[in-house]
Amino acid sequence: MIHRIHEMVWGPWLLVLFLGTGIFFTVKSGFFQIRKFPFWWKHTIGSIQEDEGEEKGEVTKFQTACTALAATIGTGNIAGVATALTAGGPGAIFWMWVSAGIGMMTGYAETMLGIRYRYRDRNGAWICGPMVYLERGLKLPGLGMLYSFLCIMVSLGMGSMVQSNSIAETLEFSFGIPPIPIGILLTGTVLLVVLGGIARIAFVSERLIPISAGAYMLFSMVVIMSCYDKIPYIFQCIFQDAFRPVSVFSGAAGYQISKSLQYGVSRGVFSNEAGLGSMAVLHGAAEDTTPEQQGMWAMFEVFFDTILICTMTAFVILCMTDGDAAGAGYDGAALTAFCFSKRLGILGEYVVSGAMLIFAFATIIAWYYLGRQAAIYLAESLKERRSLYILQRILRGKVYTLLYLGAVFLGCLAKLETVWEFSDIWNGLMALPNIIAIIFLMREVTVPGNAEKWELKCTRR
Considering the domain boundaries, does residue 267 fall inside one? yes
383 pLDDT higher than 70: no
pLDDT at site 456: 43
Q: Average pLDDT of 12-26? A: 81
Q: Average pLDDT of 174-192? A: 86
254 pLDDT higher than 50: no
Q: What are phi and psi of 415, to 5 degrees?
A: -80, 140
Considering the domain boundaries, does residue 46 fall inside one? no
Closest C-alpha to 97, from 316, 311, 371, 397: 311
Considering the domain boundaries, does residue 54 fall inside one? no
Query: In sequence order, what are the residues at sequence separation of 6 or more whose Cβ sits closer than 8 angstroms to the Cβ of residue 458?
Result: 290, 292, 293
pLDDT at site 71: 60
How many structural domains are present in the chain? 1
Provide the residue range defining the domain that includes 440: 1-41+61-445
Q: Average pLDDT of 94-98? A: 80
pLDDT at site 374: 85
Considering the domain boundaries, does residue 277 fall inside one? yes
Considering the domain boundaries, does residue 52 fall inside one? no
Q: What is the CATH number of the domain that holds 301?
A: 1.20.1740.10
Q: How far is CA 21 from CA 14, 42, 56, 68, in A?
A: 11, 26, 39, 21
The band of 257, judged by pLDDT with boundaries at 50, 70 and 90, is very low
Closest C-alpha to 61, from 297, 408, 410: 297
pLDDT at site 241: 78
Considering the domain boundaries, does residue 285 fall inside one? yes
pLDDT at site 443: 87
307 pLDDT higher than 60: yes
Q: Average pLDDT of 415-421? A: 67
- Kindly provide the b/e burial profile for residues 76-104, where b requires at least 16 CB atoms within 10 angstroms of the residue's own CB: bbbbbbbbbbbbbbbbbbbbbbbbbbbbb
pLDDT at site 196: 80
What's the N-to-C CA distance of the chain in angstroms? Answer: 52
pLDDT at site 418: 66
Considering the domain boundaries, does residue 460 fall inside one? no
pLDDT at site 334: 76
Q: How far from the centroid of its chain's Cα atoms is residue 205's Cα?
A: 14
pLDDT at site 397: 57
Considering the domain boundaries, does residue 53 fall inside one? no
